[in-house]
């Protein structure tokens, strides 16, 4: 069966450290992988997109890697801050799937403490 | 530019009733997708519309329906509400239906 797993439901780290979140998938062939941030009671906010032929992408303090052989994406937040505390979702845009549909993981709740 | 607007923000309905939710996408975005989010199932895809045509549909019963108007605004309707329909309903828009979606804040539906 098809599955998207994010490494843990919750991750707690100290301010200034690097947070690393994992997204693993099985039985999908994603053309793109996206990461979103969601705060309580709000909709997800798009952060980064990486294509299947890209290994790494960066945006300010964020870095995403994509390994289609391992079927895994890593999402890094460097120099983390309490304001980074939120739930982070990975989403797959699947090759061959009709446009407009994303498959989401359950999310990892990140807490950055001072 | 204005974001994706969903109305209403909160709704309380009784089992058996029907409900209509509205979504106004970002100006110029022609694709509108709908998702249901619950603590138990996470984000589940409902359907996607592009230029007034439904292009994709998730695994939800026929009680869930939607439409898109010529100005790209979209509505979704749930008939014969069940307790299990209580959820956050999210609308997302994009230019072509791919590559990074902008979500609204959602409509929190509670069925009692």
Report pLDDT digits (tens) over B57-80.
Answer: 999 999 999 999 999 999 999 999
Band of the pLDDT at A19, cuts 50, 70, 90? very high
User: Is there a contact between B4 and B91 (Cβ–Cβ < 8 Å)?
Assistant: yes
Q: Could you give the 3-state DSSP secondary structure of residue A31?
A: strand
User: Is there a contact between A63 and A78 (Cβ–Cβ < 8 Å)?
Assistant: yes
Predicted confidence at residue A8, as pLDDT, reads 73
Residues 83-102 of A with CB under 8 A from B: 89, 91, 93, 97-102
Predicted confidence at residue A16, as pLDDT, reads 97
Classify the phi-psi angles of A5: left when phi > 0, otherwise alpha if psi is within -120 to 50, otherwise beta. beta
- Testing the interface with A: which of B100, B105, B108 to mutate, by most A Cβ within 10 A? B100
Band of the pLDDT at A72, cuts 50, 70, 90? very high
Q: Could you give the 3-state DSSP secondary structure of residue B85?
A: helix
Predicted confidence at residue A2, as pLDDT, reads 75
Alpha-carbon span A93 to A103, nearest angstrom: 7
- pLDDT-above-70 percentage for chain B: 96
Residue A102 tokens, joined: 């994303």
pLDDT in tens, chain B (112 residues): 679 999 999 999 999 999 999 999 999 898 899 999 999 899 999 999 988 999 889 999 999 999 999 999 999 999 999 999 999 999 999 876 556 899 999 999 999 9
Cβ-based interface (< 8 Å): residues of B facing A: 4, 31, 33, 35, 42-43, 45, 48-50, 55-56, 58, 90, 92, 94, 96-106, 108
Question: Quick one: closest CA in A to B56, which residue?
Answer: A98
- Testing the interface with A: which of B98, B102, B106, B108 to mutate, by most A Cβ within 10 A? B98
Residue B101 tokens, joined: 């979606």
Band of the pLDDT at A79, cuts 50, 70, 90? very high
Greater model confidence, A4 or B82? B82
Alpha-carbon span A58 to B49, nearest angstrom: 31
- Residue A33 φ then ψ, to 5°: -130, 135
Alpha-carbon span B17 to B19, nearest angstrom: 7
Band of the pLDDT at A7, cuts 50, 70, 90? confident
- A77-99: average pLDDT: 87
Residue B25 tokens, joined: 């996408």
Contact criterion met (CB < 8 Å) for A100 and B58: no
Residue A60 tokens, joined: 């300010």
Residue A63 tokens, joined: 């870095």
CB environment B4-19: b (16+ within 10 A), e (fewer): bebeeeebebeeeeeb
For residue B55, list chain A residues with Cβ-Cβ distance below 8 A.
Answer: 98-100
Predicted confidence at residue B56, as pLDDT, reads 87
The number of C-alpha atoms within 13 Å of B50 and in the hemisphere containing its C-beta is 13
- Testing the interface with A: which of B39, B55, B99, B101 to mutate, by most A Cβ within 10 A? B101
In this model, does residue A75 exceed pLDDT 80? Answer: yes
Contacts of B41 (CB under 8 A, 6+ apart): none
Greater model confidence, A31 or A65? A65
Predicted confidence at residue B89, as pLDDT, reads 98
Band of the pLDDT at A100, cuts 50, 70, 90? low
CB count within 10 Å of CB A49 equals 20
In this model, does residue A98 exceed pLDDT 70? Answer: no
């Amino acid at each position: 069966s098809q599955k998207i797993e994010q490494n843990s439901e919750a991750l707690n780290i100290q301010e200034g450290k690097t947070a690393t979140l994992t997204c693993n998938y099985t039985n999908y062939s994603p053309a793109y992988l996206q990461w979103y941030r969601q705060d309580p009671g709000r909709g997800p906010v798009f952060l980064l997109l990486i294509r299947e032929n890209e290994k790494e992408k960066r945006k300010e303090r964020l870095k995403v890697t994509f390994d289609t052989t391992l079927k895994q994406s890593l999402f890094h937040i460097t120099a983390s801050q309490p304001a980074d505390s939120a739930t982070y979702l990975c989403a797959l845009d699947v090759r061959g799937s009709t446009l407009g549909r994303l498959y989401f993981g359950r999310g990892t709740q990140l807490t950055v403490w001072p | 530019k204005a974001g994706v607007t969903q109305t209403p923000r909160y709704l309380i309905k009784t089992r058996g009733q029907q409900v209509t939710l509205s979504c106004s996408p970002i100006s110029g975005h022609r694709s509108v997708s709908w998702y249901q989010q619950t603590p138990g199932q996470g984000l589940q895809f409902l359907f996607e519309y592009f230029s007034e045509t439904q292009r994709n549909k998730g695994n939800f019963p026929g009680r869930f329906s939607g439409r898109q108007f010529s100005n790209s605004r979209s509505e979704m309707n749930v008939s014969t509400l069940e307790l299990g329909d209580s959820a956050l309903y999210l609308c997302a828009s994009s230019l072509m239906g791919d590559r990074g979606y902008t979500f609204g804040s959602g409509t929190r539906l509670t069925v009692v």
